[in-house]
Structure 1
Amino acid sequence: MKRVLLKIMDALVRPFDARVVRNDSDEFRMKSALRRIVGHGVEIDTVIDIGASDGKWSLEAMEFFPGKRFFAVEPLTERETALENLKRTRSNFDYELCVAGEIDGGAATLNVAADLDGSTVGGTGGTARRVTVRTVDAMVAENGLEGPFLLKFDTHGYELPILSGAKETLLRTNLIIMETYNFNFTDRALRFHETCFHMEKLGFRCYDLACPMLRVHDRAFWQVDMFFCRSDSKIFAYRQYA
């Protein structure tokens, strides 16, 4: 009966370019993946949210890391009010308005999209804006942030410069959540398999994923959030399926 109802509901929404899917797709929601971090027993003391937008992801993650410090990095001044409100109501939260990158005190050109969410360093379209660059290592030192760290990237192809400016922090990082892509949409952007290869060189392996997305243009696979833990994690000691 349940299958019949699902088929009927699916037929009703198909004309609107939508589908009804089974509940097991919930396994690929961000909250489900964050819950699995806790289940794996990965030790985290500080979460650094790079490309934090208005802080909603940090707020969601606080449910799974209660009492841990959260530090957000966001280049858009348009997001400051939301971040300041979050700082005012959450004593464990702080932020800095800048681009995370490779050279501390430098500057980068941010292409600001009309919807803000699609803004990209070194991208195309939108309105160009010069923004101060800070390294993750410098911000960690200045703010007294302590590991082990969880680093979350929502940085639209600018991951390599950020990683270059986080060498010391990576030594004390247990987990990285990184938005990865299936297209080289900027000169710096890596495709997801290239990201995995680079992360393995840094000592991290992908063990989970969340939020796969299809692009609007043709419904081709566009991006997915990959979860990387240290290559020597106990997760990889067990090699069987069941």
Structure 2
Amino acid sequence: MSDARLIEEAVAQAAAGDPGAALMLYESGCAAPLPAHADALYDLGRLALALERPAEALDFLDRALDCNPELSPAHVDRARVLNRLGRKRDAIQAMCRAVAIDPEAHAALNRLRWLLDEGQLRTPSALSRLAQRGVPVASVLDVGASDGQWSLAAQAIWPDARYHLIEAFDHWRSALERVCAAHPGFSHAIAAAGDREGEIWFHNDPDAPYGGAAFHGQPDKGWKVPQVTLAAEAERLGLKPPFLIKLDTHGFEVPILEGAEALLPQASLVVIEVYVFHVHPQALLFHEICAWMAERGFRSIDLSEPLWRPRDKALWQFDLFFVRTDRPEFAINSY
């Protein structure tokens, strides 16, 4: 069956709330005589998984692995299906098999870690812990929203909140339009966030759409995009506190937070993707971000999504969750 780019796009659209392309490809693949080729069967399994048909997905992935037992990505997705079906032990075994075949399969290693720690390092678990402790959220400002999946995860925790998704890379425009059309209370802006309204330089590798960063000076490669401030966006849309501000902005955090200075006293939660290394000269390291936030009345209380870089397995980045320093949790210093 396989046009890899077409399959990737269909799976991404299904994840963003528009399963039409995935369904069309899946039905056309099922209507024809079933292939005996591992990659084609794997594609059908991925599409079935994207369409929330785990039992069918498992069947296709098992057939793909019968054809090619060394197809590591099929073991990864098989583990995802098994975990979704409540078969955690089998899921861990499948993920271990994927890593045994390809020890450099970092996605598999991360998923295996999540399975072993029961998902405690994943964003939905961290958000759920915060909600259980009574952190209130009325409006979410999701900066670096990409395809909107982070806000959809947060919506499962705070279903009555208002969500505004800000993304500088036009690649994600159609995905965000679909998400916002499917979810009342969602809106989006194709723009960078910063410390002033206007324009700013932006660069993103089209082959790595989850990256990208804004720059005050012109980068070697880049283009200008609109720039907004979070305070102005909140006022324009009539967003109400308490605010959740989430930044996935690859080292451009301080200018964005400076543009949200008026909102920070009304923020209950700030989630920042932080780095252990200088990803570019403007970026603060994670401990510097902690100090910057402490000056504004916030302390870190949780983390999620740690990532280790491939070359030396050094911790590269993770998401830090900041709440106000007057939270009751900080009144207790014992374990």
The 1:237/1:11 distance shift into structure 2, 3 A limit, reads same
Cα distance between partner residues in 1 of 2:320 and 2:218: 25
The 1:124/1:211 distance shift into structure 2, 3 A limit, reads farther
Quote the residue 2:292 is aligned against: 198
Cα distance between partner residues in 1 of 2:159 and 2:308: 32
Cα distance between partner residues in 2 of 1:160 and 1:13: 38
The 1:127/1:234 distance shift into structure 2, 3 A limit, reads same
Mapping 1:91-130, distance limit 5 Å: 91-104=184-197, 106-114=198-206, 115-122=208-215, 127-130=221-224
Q: Deviations over 1:33-65 (max 9, x none)?
A: 011011110111011101101111111111001
The answer to whether residue 143 in structure 2 is matched with residue 57 in structure 1 is: no
Which structure is higher in strand share?
A: 1
Choose the corresponding residue for 1:80, options 160, 163, 173.
Answer: 173
Q: Percent identity?
A: 36
- For 1:88, what is the secondary structure of its paired residue? helix
Per-residue deviation at 1:24?
2.1
Quote the residue 1:13 is aligned against: 99
- For 2:311, what is the secondary structure of its paired residue? coil
Quote the residue 2:27 is aligned against: none
- Structure 1 unaligned blocks of 5 or more: none
Per-residue deviation at 1:23?
2.5
- For 1:116, what is the secondary structure of its paired residue? coil
- For 2:257, what is the secondary structure of its paired residue? helix
Per-residue deviation at 1:15?
4.9
Choose the corresponding residue for 1:153, options 244, 247, 268.
Answer: 247
Per-residue deviation at 1:124?
9.7
Which protein, 1 or 2, shows the higher relative CO under an 8 Å CA cutoff with sep ≥ 6? Answer: 1
Cα distance between partner residues in 2 of 1:204 and 1:43: 15
Quote the residue 1:218 is aligned against: 312
Contact preservation (8 Å) 1:112, 1:126: no
The 1:150/1:10 distance shift into structure 2, 3 A limit, reads same
The 1:240/1:98 distance shift into structure 2, 3 A limit, reads same
The structure 1 segments of at least 4 consecutive aligned residues displaced by more than 6 Å after TM superposition are 6-9, 123-126
The answer to whether residue 268 in structure 2 is matched with residue 174 in structure 1 is: yes
Contact preservation (8 Å) 1:214, 1:220: yes
Cα distance between partner residues in 1 of 2:93 and 2:161: 44
CA RMSD of aligned residues (A): 2.4
- Structure 2 unaligned blocks of 5 or more: 1-88
The answer to whether residue 233 in structure 2 is matched with residue 139 in structure 1 is: yes
Per-residue deviation at 1:25?
5.2
Q: How many residues align?
A: 238
Contact preservation (8 Å) 1:55, 1:82: yes
The answer to whether residue 131 in structure 2 is matched with residue 38 in structure 1 is: yes
- 1:176 aligned partner, one-letter code: V
Choose the corresponding residue for 1:163, options 243, 257, 273.
Answer: 257
Cα distance between partner residues in 1 of 2:94 and 2:244: 43
Larger Rg: 2
Cα distance between partner residues in 1 of 2:192 and 2:323: 24
